[in-house]
Structure 1
């Protein structure tokens, strides 16, 4: 069903634009965006090191800005250069954090520049957001199978995205398990935008999973893009980090 919906969308785009979308063009685009996903993953994987050589705000800034390049090859090149430079610094022992800095995984809704206040508050409270389990973070770096028919591969890739709009959504639990282990996470913050009901509903299951399977501190925050609740969030985040530190 989903494949046929994607095919109908392709046909509608062709009708509206007068441009035929050929398999060869789709294959080329898939290869290019897969390169972009791999570069983005390499950037985010830097934070697996302990201490992390990069802050959550720096990660967001780099990914957000390179995502706006019209020439994706330029964005890929810049991300790869940044990864090489940060790896060199990390090998020399350089890091904005220390070994005991709390390592936080942020899950839930997508975050970018302009909506990064929770990340900013966490890191101002002397913690480090090492991992983003959301659609602007690790969910966005799953590559598309280049060996399959392009439209079929695209349909399968996006249908498999572990987003809360999917039900059931076992993929999110599987991804959280992988990331909590790989990033040596000390605590989990689940972020929900107001009126994003699917994430609000799923938060209960995520909290149960994180606290029972991993015995990690968990904080669910519901907010919006405004700064009106900044101080309230600050108090809750600082109290949460006290729990993380034990």
Structure 2
């Protein structure tokens, strides 16, 4: 695999982005924090506000959160909450973006998140979008559309700016441009050998909702241009797809283990993966309806039934010619852990091996996971 200059530029983008948001705040522009794909960026940007992701992927803020939250809940929820309430008194340096938002826009997905948001509102004003849990009905679409209309009103109230149909259409086109660039990046990963490591792609995707759309587009165009002009080196390595829980910034443990053991990750069926960009928003429909139709299709494990996710996994496995699937779940993430059985059955029928890994953000199980991944690589090689 090649080293790309554009990836080095991406690594230094954090300070530039923080400086950008800081300058925006001085000029009176509002900034919104989000956790989940179900929150349409297009509505935020159409209100002339900015947006930054607040999902925690680091272990050092979990102990801070456990002063308020139970130990036996999802590490992502605890890391996120700990990052927001962290005042530095525990010795953990606060991250800049968590203190720069004027409002948090959350969503009713898993139970741990729902209840965490009730506490979060004591620290940062938190607006919650409700989600229908059975998405494949006309009633669900109608309800979700009404929730997005309310959210639109909340953004207008926060910013003092009217969200017009024209602004929404403009932002839909812009967001689709990002999605198309990510599709192009994934197309290049279909080469064998892949021209880029899965760890590098994960780091790009982790910044997808931190960088501004213009900054992200610039980095993606540079990277794609480099990849298109480089012939991949090396020979075939086991092609692996990761499926399951999101891997927010700071969390690359399992991906690094897989690639250190000789595999190459060529696709991610997760929120830090294909779920974030695979489907476009229809640019020819009423923009609010088009947004509702696109976002309600996201196959999160909070939805039931969730057969769309099974279909997506099988389709991606075939499309990217994977040799095996690593099913990654966080401890106490009951939705994805329970869905593991259905995914395993479907992959088994398709003749695709699967390795299930349940973990957290600590390094305590790195050696154990490494041994299991090693054996899996030998099986699929």
Which residue is 2:314 aligned to? 177
1:7 aligns with 2:7: no
Partners of 2:158 and 2:210 in 1: how far apart?
25
* Conserved? CA contact 2:240–2:263, under 8 Å: yes
1:211-230 aligned at under 5 Å gives the runs: 211-212=348-349, 214-230=350-366
Q: Gaps (5+ residues) in structure 1?
A: none
Q: Gaps (5+ residues) in structure 2?
A: 1-142
Once the two structures are TM-superposed, the CA of residue 67 in structure 1 deviates from its matched residue by: 4.4
1:1-246 aligned at under 5 Å gives the runs: 1-65=143-207, 67-70=209-212, 72-90=213-231, 94-95=232-233, 97-99=234-236, 101-141=237-277, 142-212=279-349, 214-245=350-381
Instruction: For residues 72-119 of structure 1, give each alpha carbon's deviation from its aligned partner in whole angstroms, at most 9, with x where no partner exists.
Output: 2232132122112112112xxx33x412x1000100011244111000
* Conserved? CA contact 1:106–1:188, under 8 Å: yes
SS in 2 for 1:220: strand
Partners of 2:206 and 2:340 in 1: how far apart?
26
TM-score by structure 2 length? 0.60
Instruction: For residues 187-239 of structure 1, give each alpha carbon's deviation from its aligned partner in whole angstroms, at most 9, with x where no partner exists.
Output: 00111111211101101000000012x21211111111111211111111112
TM-score by structure 1 length? 0.92
Partners of 2:211 and 2:335 in 1: how far apart?
31
Superposition RMSD in Å? 1.5
Equivalent pairs, count: 238
SS in 2 for 1:243: helix
Structure with the largest fraction of helix:
1
Between structure 1 and structure 2, the one with the greater Rg is 2
* Conserved? CA contact 2:206–2:247, under 8 Å: no
